[in-house]
Structure 1
Amino acid sequence: MLILVARDGPYSPGPNGEDGSLIPRQVLFGNPDKTSVKISPDGSQISYLAPANGVLNLWAAPAEDPLRARPVTNDTHRGIRSYAWAYNNEILYLQDTDGDENWRLFKVNPGPGKGEVECLTPKGCLAAIQKISLYFPNEILVCINDRDPRYHDIYRFNLSTGNRSLLQKNPGFGGFITDDQFQVRLAVNLTADGGAEYLVPRNGSWEIILKINSEDYSPYLSSPIGIDKTGRMLFFTDNRNRDTAALKVLDLDSGRETLIAEDPNADASAVLVHPRDCTIQAVAFTYDRKHWKILDSSIEKDMARLREVADGEMDVVSRSLDDKAWIVSYLRDNGPGDYYYYNRSSGEARFLFTWNKELEDKPLARMHPVIIKSRDGLDLISYITLPLGRDGDGNDHPDRPLPLVLLVHGGPWYRDNWGYNSIHQWLANRGYAVLSINFRGSTGFGKSFMNAGNLEWGGKMQDDLIDGANWAVAEGIADPDRIAIMGGSYGGYATLAALTMTPEAFACGVDLVGPSNLITFLESVPAYWEPLTGLFRVRIGDNTTEEGRAFLENRSPINHAENVTRPLLIGQGANDPRVRQNESEQIVNALEKRGIPVTYLVFPDEGHGFARPENNMAFFAVAEAFLAQHLGGEFEPIGSDFQQSSITVPVGAEEVPGLKEALKARDNTSAMP
């Protein structure tokens, strides 16, 4: 029997926003109340990330009394975004410096009277947790690229002393899989032709047990997941001789493969792993919405019970080692997600908190999955959000065409998903329809769909975005004269490509950390991406041949800058290691030389995207005024959103209403004694 302990009062969306009120940017883009909730291995404590003095820090509380939570770190600048529990009940977390992605590993003891933070890895290199094992509670495996920045070696760390010893030197592989006994069981070698090899250590050398060609290989389609507790069975996703990626198990001794789960429409997207046995108990597939396939009958009743607890897509996000306590999250589209503590023995599902209580009474809109046909017949799984009160007959279409923002995801080997999206909500609240399209090359829909994006940056991938905008016009959703394109990373590239290669298609564009020159982009990626260069040549273009360079030049927005006729806003983190600042500088300089207006925002303490909420709010404050100027939506004045931000505007401050004044006010305030 399910025992449901509810929060204080039922959740209900706020008013429909017909009074024109705007949701403050602080609510949409500020810190969450609580996020990344986990339970300690022994089940005694709950942890999460939450603001302390306005900065995300680690908090911990007794599992039976979450209200007694206290911060166990005291970061005052960038905040903590990723962490894990060690089996000695210490917490491990990663942090970089101002977005440089040279992640360092720290530890802290969350116990009473504890809280002293200790750094475990050196500066100037990138560290990542390789393995945490219940059999070695005071040790962990860490991979570090301090010997050769291209490759990560595996070290065994003692958490008490901080001492480390080399476990596995990397001869040039893309990565390793280790088991709970801290044995290296598998290496993945990424080949020069864009494929991969799985190798096992035998008799002092490496033996290939499985080869994947470039058509089948992608880190998102064919990828190792983990090893079972015997150390001999590898769980992996695989799409050889099939289209969608299925979940399989490979016997590392015999080479025998066994199919575990598959879906004809979608790739395996997530797994639920037993905390002690390391067996996979459920696998998720996501086409337009996520659904779980249960593999282990021992959790069927639990999953059925939990589906009754709350609305939204359910995930088991953390489990105690004895598997008696689960942390469960529920994602909805028009409200903040919920966290529950689930006691498997009693069947009690106890509400903990939402991740942003301020959103509970705000007028948030629904997100609707739609399928858009590309001009050559592909199904493009997409998501549209409409402003509240604009769909009188409930047919998911507005009563009259609206200004629309085409929001393009990054990657491009990534995908858009259903669920709460702060940018969708922000734009819909300001009066825009918002459309996100899983264009060809996006992940999750099989290898044919993904491979259809090979060598199509600025080509058919761009056509899919144009087709989506045309669909919105034909459906009466979008006003053809008021469509903007906006995105980050690859989405930023798509924005630049749209304004340079199809200059009349959009009214304006917003680019965040997008590459403008594919040759300089490929030649300046981080050294630790070296194993991926073969894959990049297959999927983006070959910068090592004369023919390939000519192709990449043609697909680079920088070489079509003279075509730009529509307003452009560009945002860049000065420390971005993936899309370096030069990518934005090039296009800004080219437009300036031609007298084409552009507004350029630079954040000195950010990298590939913005971690500090103060910088996010500053960026979106400018973007909001920019979009309102060119599409006619509502906007909240910039006000004091710059006060704690590092924002600089080297070019084009006069192009955006209120931008110069807000900068001056910020600078005058900071200059006051």
Structure 2
Amino acid sequence: MKRILWLVVSLCLFSHSSFANPLPVEAFASIPDVRFVSLSPDGKKIASLIRVSTNELEGQVLSIRDIKTNKDIFPLQTDNQKFVILSLTWANDDVILIESKYPSIRRGIPTTETRLMKYTLSDNKTTSVFSNHSLSRFYGYGLPQLQASVIDYLDNDPGHILMQIQGLGSKPQYESVIKVSLKTGAIKTLQPARMHIGDWLTDRQHNVRIGIYRDDTSYRIYEQKAAGEDLRILWEFEALAEDVIWPIGFDHDPNILYISAYHQGLKAIFKVNLTDPKLTKELVFHNENYDVEGWLVYSELKQKVIGLSTDIEGEYLFWDQDYIKLNNGLTAALPESHNAITQFSDDERRYIVYATGPIESGAYYFGNRDQNALYPVAYRYSQLPPELLSTPKTVNYQARDGLTIEAFLTTPKDAIAKNLPTIIFPHGGPISYDSTTFDYWAQFLANRGYAVLQMNFRGSAGYGFNFMSSGLKNWGLEMQTDIEDGAHWLISQGISDPKRMCIVGASYGGYAALMGVAITPDLYQCAISVAGVTDLEELVKSSRGYDNSKIVKKQIGDDYDDLYQRSPISKVASIKVPVLLIHGTKDRVVRVEQSEKMYDALKDLQKPVKYIELENGDHYLSNNQHRLTTFIEIERFLAANLGVQ
């Protein structure tokens, strides 16, 4: 096949055949070479966000390629400090919408602000989607914190989009739905804000139909025939309860709504006919072992839902024969990866495929159904050839109370899994999960000679309601001993050297790492916390300024004395091993003070600790230099404390 790959060619820093173990730290620690590959509606242009590293810029640029002429333009760049680009979406053949975020402070409370920009090809300009006159309408309430929520791209009216936004009307603290002109930036209110409704959903005819209401921890799902009409309550439930029902989209029939709800204790996809007085749920798709969540795949051409993109290992499910045939062809062409069609052109003859897998860091392909051809576009990490990476293995072990914990073991490539230096690596969230899909942290550590164990301790997502809810208000308790039991299991299997074991994590994982060395001081030889929580009492108190504070209490707890006792900062005296703390100063998820206070407490007791503060860094290591600094410090720290060169 002819390689149209421009991104590969223009950014190809190394060829795949030139590597030898170990790979350079930059291969793992750099932000992806390419992200957000997006096809224009006419299928003639591809936009993407490309990483660049030059004397002039360390960051990312927006790239747009004309497929027919092979010409590129680069109209926008960012250093990922002033702002971070979150997504690229073609609104029409001439306009690309660019969602971005940046840190700010409102009334003394740290916030993350979002904005929506547009790049117009015909006049080569990047501007806000809102005109100055439109922005002036918000000044009485103050400019909204979140200004990037598009709820409908209006395929029947490509010159406009529908957005939801605060700051308008008689209830400015709640979301209105506005129609925005992509040419002039003018706005028109279609759906006035209603008390406590924070999200709106349109049907396929672009009518505002569903409103999601929240008051503290109580939710209601409302339906209306059209914008501004009387609301009818469909369902009501409490946050984190088993009877939750989340709308995910309509079929072409405006009465058929797809929802996510629990089925036999596991999340599944249903559809409901809104004309049915009983709102009977018809099961569409479920998995016998795992929760299913995902997004509808809708065909504008056929005017119907044709499938589902699930979060189970990137599984794609089609129930239309044309697309089943296309999907089978992709599987035959790319048998070693999970292949997701992320986008079609309007005529559905051209498309973008994203392929990934346990040792495939991600590759984008451009498909042409008329030519029956598939062309490589770009690799997410061009310096990480699959043949040099380590394949993770799914394992199971028993927690001390008999609960089965699913985990994923990655060992150095071609190494015998015996007596290895080991990293215990719990995930963040904590209502999140790990899987065998590509993980650049685990691959980096395995490439450096360590066995890596990632476990889905109780409280993780993906295993049903009972498993998730068993983690509520459980920080530092069974959630923690599930992690500890994984370390003991590795030792009992002879896989890990008990004298060369470190616990590493980010966010909640950083909390678990510090708790691990605090409550089991003889199990690990060191701990690393990246943006980790150190004081649960302070974490819950700091949520008071946000509108989800009661949900935070429901998840973590509100007995402040107990929370403090389940915090690493209360157990500093018990820590005997070296600790590395890394935190960004503009972290809006876990405040930097959490690590600063932990460092001071450890230092006061003359404990071995090193603290790396990332100036202007966020919670996600979005800046390339911050990510590189983090991985270099981790590599040095582990080598010094586990004796691995």
Band the TM-score falls in, shorter-chain normalisation: 0.7 to 0.9
Distance 1:181 1:566 in 2: 61
**Change beyond 3 A, Cα 1:535–1:252:** farther
- How many angstroms apart in 1 are the aligned matches of 2:606 and 2:45? 60
Shift of 1:593: 2.4
Query: Which of 189, 195, 213 is 1:189 aligned to?
Result: 213
1:96 is matched with which residue: 97, 101, 105? 101
Question: What SS is found at the alignment partner of 1:209?
Answer: strand
Alignment of 1:310-389 (within 5 A): 310=334, 311-360=336-385, 363-389=388-414
SS at match of 2:112: coil
Count matched residues: 606
Contact 1:107 1:120 in 2 (8 A): no
Out of 122, 141, 166, the residue aligned to residue 162 of structure 2 is: 141
Q: Is the 8 A contact 1:561 1:590 kept in 2?
A: yes
| TM-score in terms of structure 1 length | 0.83
Give the alignment's Cα RMSD to 1 decimal: 2.9
Moved more, 471-480 or 127-136: 127-136
Q: How does 1:104-503 map to 2 (within 5 A)?
A: 104-111=115-122, 114-118=124-128, 120=130, 125-131=145-151, 132-146=153-167, 151-166=174-189, 167-190=191-214, 192=216, 194=217, 196-201=219-224, 204-214=229-239, 216-217=241-242, 222-239=245-262, 242-254=264-276, 255-276=279-300, 279-283=304-308, 289-310=313-334, 311-360=336-385, 363-391=388-416, 398=417, 400-503=418-521
Which SS does the other structure have where 2:631 is aligned? Answer: helix
Tell me, yes or no, if the aligned pair for 1:151 and 1:170 is still in contact at 8 Å.
yes
Give, in angstroms, the shift of residue 325 of structure 1.
1.4
Q: Is the 8 A contact 2:297 2:309 kept in 1?
A: no
Deviations 1:195-217 (A, max 9, x none): 53211237854332112345635
Q: Go from structure 1 to structure 2 and tell me whether the alpha carbon gap of 1:471 and 1:573 turns closer, same or farther (over 3 Å shift).
A: same
Distance of aligned partners of 1:143 and 1:601 in 2 relative to their CA distance in 1, 3 Å threshold:
farther
- C-alpha contact (below 8 Å) 2:41/2:346 kept by paired residues: yes
Per-residue displacement from partner, 1:488-507 (whole Å, max 9, x unpaired)? 11111211222223322221
Counterpart Cα distance in 2 of 1:614 and 1:355? 18
Which one-letter code corresponds to 1:273 in the other structure? V
Tell me, in whole angstroms, the C-alpha distance in 1 between the residues paired with 2:540 and 2:589.
9
Cα distance change, pair 243–41 in 1 and its aligned pair in 2 (3 A)? same
State the alpha-carbon separation in 2 of the partners of residues 354 and 507 from structure 1: 37
Contact 1:13 / 1:364 at 8 angstroms: preserved in 2? no
Q: Compared with structure 1, are the counterparts of its residues 70 and 345 closer, same or farther at alpha carbon in structure 2 (3 Å cutoff)? A: same
User: Is 1:601 the counterpart of 2:622 in the alignment?
Assistant: no
Residues 260 and 5 of structure 1: CA distance in aligned 2, closer, same or farther (over 3 Å)? farther
SS in 1 for 2:85: coil
Q: Within the alignment, does 1:504 sit opposite 2:514 as a pair?
A: no
- Deviation per CA, 1:563-585, whole angstroms, max 9, x where unpaired? 22121111111112221122222
Q: Distance in 2 between matches of 1:298 and 1:364?
A: 35
Q: Which residue of 1 aligns with 2:541?
A: 523
The structural deviation recorded for 1:68 is 2.6
| Partner SS for 1:375 | coil
- SS for the counterpart of 2:221 is strand
Which residue is 1:71 aligned to? 74
User: Which amino acid letter does the alignment assign opposite residue 553 of structure 2?
Assistant: R
2:266 aligned counterpart, secondary structure = coil
**Does the 8 Å CA contact 1:329/1:340 hold for their aligned counterparts?**
yes
Which residue number corresponds to residue 587 of structure 1? 598
Offset at residue 461 of structure 1 (A): 0.9
2:40 matched residue in structure 1: 40
Quick one: distance in 1 between partners of 2:510 and 2:475? 12
Q: How does 1:545-564 map to 2 (within 5 A)?
A: 548-564=559-575
CA separation of 1:606/1:217 partners in 2, compared to 1, >3 Å: closer, same or farther?
farther
> Cα offset for 1:429?
1.4
Question: Which deviates more from structure 2 when the two are superposed, residues 426-435 or residues 81-90?
Answer: 81-90
Could you tell me which residue of structure 2 aligns to residue 662 of structure 1? none
- The alignment partner of 2:271 has SS state of strand
Query: What does the per-residue CA deviation read over 1:111-167, in whole Å, with 9 as the maximum and x for residues that have no partner?
Result: 5x6243446497671223232221231222223345799754433322212222333
- The alpha carbon displacement at 1:86 in A equals 0.6
CA distance in 1, matches of 2:303, 2:236: 25
> C-alpha offsets along residues 529-562 of structure 1, whole Å, 9 cap, x if unaligned?
51x3343333211x2xxxx223322322222222
Looking at structure 1, the residues matched to 206 and 310 of structure 2 have their Cα atoms a distance apart, in angstroms, of 30
CA contact 1:41–1:89 (8 Å) conserved in 2: no
2:65 matched residue in structure 1: 61
Q: Distance in 2 between matches of 1:33 and 1:269?
A: 28
Q: Which moved more, 1:477-486 or 1:330-339?
A: 330-339
Asked whether the 8 Å contact 1:195–1:535 carries over to 2, the reply is: no
Contact 2:144/2:166, CA 8 A, preserved across alignment: no
Q: Distance in 2 between matches of 1:477 and 1:284?
A: 36
Give deviations 1:403-425, integer Å, cap 9, x for gaps.
11112211111111222221112
CA shift for structure 1 position 41: 1.6
Match of 1:632 in 2: 643
Separation of aligned partners in 1, 2:386 and 2:240: 48
Match of 2:95, as an amino acid?
E
Contact residue 275 and residue 320 of structure 1 kept, 8 A: no
- 1 or 2 for the larger relative contact order (CA 8 Å, sep ≥6)? 1
The 2-side partners of 1:577 and 1:216 are apart by 27
Indicate the residue corresponding to 2:632 in structure 1. 621
Give, as a single letter, the amino acid of the residue that structure 1 aligns with 2:480. Q
Check the 8 A contact 1:109/1:116 in 2, yes or no: yes
Letter paired with 1:585: E
Structure-1 residue corresponding to 2:138: none
Report the residue type matching 1:33 in the other structure. Answer: D
Distance 1:110 1:418, change over 3 A: farther
Q: Percent identity?
A: 26
Quickly say closer, same or farther: Cα 1:503–1:171, change in 2 above 3 A: farther
Q: Does the CA contact (< 8 Å) of 1:125 and 1:146 recur in 2?
A: no
**Cα displacement (A) at 1:525:** 3.2
- Quick one: distance in 2 between partners of 1:80 and 1:533? 27
- Kindly indicate whether the alpha-carbon contact (under 8 Å) linking 1:326 and 1:343 is maintained by their aligned counterparts in 2: yes
Matches of 1:16 and 1:482, distance apart in 2? 28
Q: Using a 3 Å threshold, how does the CA distance of structure 1 residues 116 and 204 change in structure 2: closer, same or farther?
A: closer
Distance 1:26 1:518 in 2: 34
Q: CA deviation at 1:261?
A: 0.9
Equivalent-residue separation in structure 2 for 1:168 and 1:268 (angstroms): 34
Report the AA paired with residue 258 of structure 1: E
Task: Classify 1:106/1:503 alpha carbon distance in 2 versus 1 (closer, same or farther; 3 Å).
Answer: same
Q: How far, CA to CA, are the matches of 2:521 and 2:294 in structure 1?
A: 39
The one-letter amino acid paired with 2:73 is R
Letter in 2 for 1:523: K
Tell me, yes or no, if the aligned pair for 1:142 and 1:156 is still in contact at 8 Å. yes
Unaligned ranges ≥5, structure 2: 9-13, 105-110, 136-142
1:432 shift after superposition: 0.6
Q: Does residue 578 of structure 1 match 2:601? A: no
TM-score norm. by structure 2 comes to: 0.86
C-alpha distance in structure 1 between counterparts of 2:627 and 2:303, whole Å: 38
In structure 2, C-alpha distance between the alignment counterparts of 1:234 and 1:361, rounded to whole Å? 41
Tell me, yes or no, if the aligned pair for 2:350 and 2:366 is still in contact at 8 Å.
yes
| Structure 2 residue matching 1:74: 3-state secondary structure | strand
